[in-house]
Structure 1
Amino acid sequence: MGGFEMEKVRTWVDDRLSDPIWWNDCLQLAKTVLAAVAAWVIAASVLDLPQPFLAPWSALLVVHATVYRTFSKGAQQVAATVVAVLLATAVGEWLGLTTGSMALLLAVALLLGSVPWLGAEATTIAATGVVVLATGFDDDVMLVSRLLDTAIGVAVGLLVNVIVWPPLRRRTAAKALDRIDDGIGELLIDMAGGLGDGCQDEDITAWIDRTRDLDEDLDQAWALVRQAQESARMNPRRSARPMKNPEHWHELLRRMEQAIAETRSLARTLGGQSAHRETWGEAFATPWIKMLGDAGRAASEADPGGLLDVRRRLVELSEEMRATERSPEWPIYGALIINLRNIIDAMDVVAEANPIGAPPLPIHLPQRRSAVPRESA
């Protein structure tokens, strides 16, 4: 593998090691495996239950992304598992293990989807019921054993998710917000570069498409912030308290929402101009395009001072053009100045808050030391 490929692999690994979303996924996977294995060991080795498969199954069901969801959804899934065990036992005692009993079991389990509280767990009831019916149902001791298996899995899943680093999705949400303001800044920089080189219609279309991609990222960020707020509920960690009412984060998301809309409006305005620099004149085009790029760099670097400096220069340009310019392009000047001013006004508070929530994870691969030749005496 060449040096370039090795550097790409190193960059990819470093990105993963410093990505809180990736670490959250790894932690959740490890906790789920830990809960299932611990439930199996307790049921099979400690209590020596005859068929302990329901213990890890129940543990898997109750380990969720947040403590609150572990309790709320876990309660539904526990109820679904208990209903499935009782239903399979009743059907098996009545009809035995036959094609008819299997069909009846599945039909009743899926019909339970009409019950609002259990509706989302109809598949869980059906799957658990099939396993119980197929592995034995004709023993009261077996019924008690299976209910005990379920209780063990639920208890272990809850304890693992609450005690072992209870999930707090703050870093995940913060990373999503940081990616959006970086994306807005990069788009403004690219637009300034494109205008300087003479952009085409396909460039305008690409810029508008990128604002739509940012809208999708914004929707995901809203969902992650709501998940972070949920993760703070019933969470014993002290750092969970600020996330119980993340109004500041909501304000930042609304500001980025406005910045994206203003950027799309700016791109559409540019799309109506066939030859930008020649039409506008250098007196407006040169300083405005430079300010557009500077605003993008300040947004990407989370530099509120840089954004305020661009706003000051924008006001000066507006006053100067108003005093000296009598161009018929003034409506275009005004639209572009207002769009850029609104982007700056939306992003300066976002830049001031960056990094949002917490600094990035300082985890990376160690750099390989290069040999340095000794200086001759």
Structure 2
Amino acid sequence: MPDQPFTRVLAWLREPEVSTDLLQIGKSVIAATAAWWLSGYVLDSQMPFLAPWTALLTVHATVHRSFSRGIQTTVASTIGVGISFLIGNFLGVSLWTFALALLVGLAGARLSWIRDEGVAIATTSIFILGSGFSSQQPLLGERIGELALGVAIGLAVNLIVIPPLRDQQAARYVDSINRRMGDVLCSMGREFRESWDTDQSDSWLQETLSMSEELNSAWASVRFARESRRVNPRDYLRARRSASHGSSGSSSAKVGYEDILERVDEGVSHLRNLTRTLSEASYGEGKWDDRFRVEWADIVTDAGKSVADPDADVAPIHDRLNELSSRLVQGELPSQTWPLYGALITSVRHIAVIVDDVASDREAREGEKRSRQK
């Protein structure tokens, strides 16, 4: 269809990461341009680049980070202006005083309380000393005012122009890992019902290792989502709207992505242990008990469906594992097979507990999403 490329581009633009990045670029352009116009055309500044430069430094991905980094930028830039003022007035501008200003600025950038934006000390010195200090004789108060103007505009733009909320990214990571865990469990059930080989076990193990890498990204996204809600007027307005609709907000308080990820991390660990157990068993000799083979495969497959989709209609996993264990105890299994069978049952039992947690977490998150969309 001729509209497919346009549809794909539109879908790509609607991705939370892409739309947030594009919005961030737009806000940076707006803030820097507004600061340059006010500094150059309204205030008639001799150095109109200071305000847009600090505005650009202030517009960060979250409102909270803009506040904290904006304060650091103001302090660091003010120190840089002070250093330039002292060196320019008392020592003049020359090759060695320029190097001295950079030396002091870079040394000051190592201060722990302005480390994130400390390099602004040196860059401010470069701008002021390198822009004709001796001919312009910049006033200390005016330069500091221009820096404060840039920071103020950057903060204002980040507050007013759709400050980001990153909960969508966090939810997508959680759902993605859950689906991948479910797919591996379903694959295990299918393979175990018939047969499996070492290569298949290795692919499951590699998939669990990849899940752990995705979990690292998920943790970063969750921390970012929590930061994006701090000092964010959108979150405050949503809370007020929820209160006006009679929502107590308790569902939001119950939902914690950090807790969800901890449970998912445990699930991945148990899944990896289960994978290694099957991998080692693939080298062993002897025939599997058919009753165990069929029932355990069915339970693992249903556990995978439950992890990938908590709304899936499957019988309770935990109860079925107990019934399987009871029947095996009453049967006549060789004693050497029990360690292996017991390890497989125990691993799935741990995952079954997490299946229930995942289902309740999904329900709580869906309730939170619905309350925010009201």
> For this structure pair, what is the TM-score category when the shorter chain's length is used for normalisation?
0.7 to 0.9
Aligned to 1:149: 146
Aligned to 1:358: 369
Aligned to 1:369: none
Counterpart pick for 1:76 among 72, 78, 88? 72
Aligned to 1:281: 289
Matched residues, percent identical?
35
Counterpart pick for 2:316 among 303, 309, 312? 309
Query: Secondary structure of 2:369's match?
Result: coil
Which structure 2 residues correspond to residues 82-93 of structure 1 after superposition, within 5 A? 82-93=78-89
CA distance in 2, matches of 1:275, 1:319: 27
Letter in 2 for 1:200: D
| 1:305 to 1:45, Cα distance in 2 relative to 1, 3 A | farther
Letter in 2 for 1:302: P
| 1:352 to 1:23, Cα distance in 2 relative to 1, 3 A | farther
CA distance in 2, matches of 1:246, 1:166: 24
Aligned to 1:374: none
CA distance in 1, matches of 2:62, 2:279: 45
Q: Deviations over 1:293-331 (max 9, x none)?
A: 22212211232653x533333333222222234233222
Letter in 1 for 2:319: R
Aligned to 2:350: 342
1:164 is the counterpart of 2:161: yes
CA distance in 2, matches of 1:176, 1:273: 32
CA distance in 1, matches of 2:251, 2:56: 27
Aligned to 1:333: 341
Once the two structures are overlaid, the 10-residue window that deviates more, 242-251 or 54-63, is 242-251
| 1:202 to 1:125, Cα distance in 2 relative to 1, 3 A | farther
**Bigger relative contact order (CA 8 A; separation at least 6):** 1
Letter in 2 for 1:91: I
Letter in 2 for 1:171: Q
The offset of 1:119, in angstroms, is 3.1
Which structure 2 residues correspond to residues 192-341 of structure 1 after superposition, within 5 A? 192-196=189-193, 198-236=195-233, 237-238=235-236, 239=238, 248-274=256-282, 279-303=287-311, 306=314, 309-327=316-334, 328-341=336-349
| 1:285 to 1:217, Cα distance in 2 relative to 1, 3 A | same
Counterpart pick for 1:174 among 161, 171, 176? 171
CA distance in 1, matches of 2:289, 2:6: 47
RMSD of equivalent CA atoms: 3.1
Q: TM-score, normalised by structure 1?
A: 0.83
Letter in 1 for 2:149: I
Once the two structures are overlaid, the 10-residue window that deviates more, 21-30 or 32-41, is 21-30
Conserved 8 A contact 1:214-1:260: yes
Conserved 8 A contact 1:174-1:358: no
| 1:243 to 1:117, Cα distance in 2 relative to 1, 3 A | farther
| 1:314 to 1:244, Cα distance in 2 relative to 1, 3 A | closer
Letter in 2 for 1:185: G
Q: TM-score, normalised by structure 2?
A: 0.84
Letter in 1 for 2:89: E
1:46 is the counterpart of 2:42: yes
CA distance in 2, matches of 1:194, 1:230: 43
The offset of 1:281, in angstroms, is 2.8
Q: Deviations over 1:258-281 (max 9, x none)?
A: 111110110111111126896323
Aligned length: 356
Counterpart pick for 1:115 among 111, 115, 120? 111
Query: Secondary structure of 2:117's match?
Result: helix
Conserved 8 A contact 2:307-2:359: yes
| 1:16 to 1:353, Cα distance in 2 relative to 1, 3 A | farther
| 1:244 to 1:296, Cα distance in 2 relative to 1, 3 A | closer
Aligned to 2:97: 101
CA distance in 2, matches of 1:42, 1:76: 22
| 1:181 to 1:277, Cα distance in 2 relative to 1, 3 A | farther
Conserved 8 A contact 2:109-2:121: no
CA distance in 1, matches of 2:208, 2:225: 25
The offset of 1:161, in angstroms, is 1.2
Gaps spanning 5+ residues in structure 2: where? Answer: 240-248
The offset of 1:346, in angstroms, is 0.8
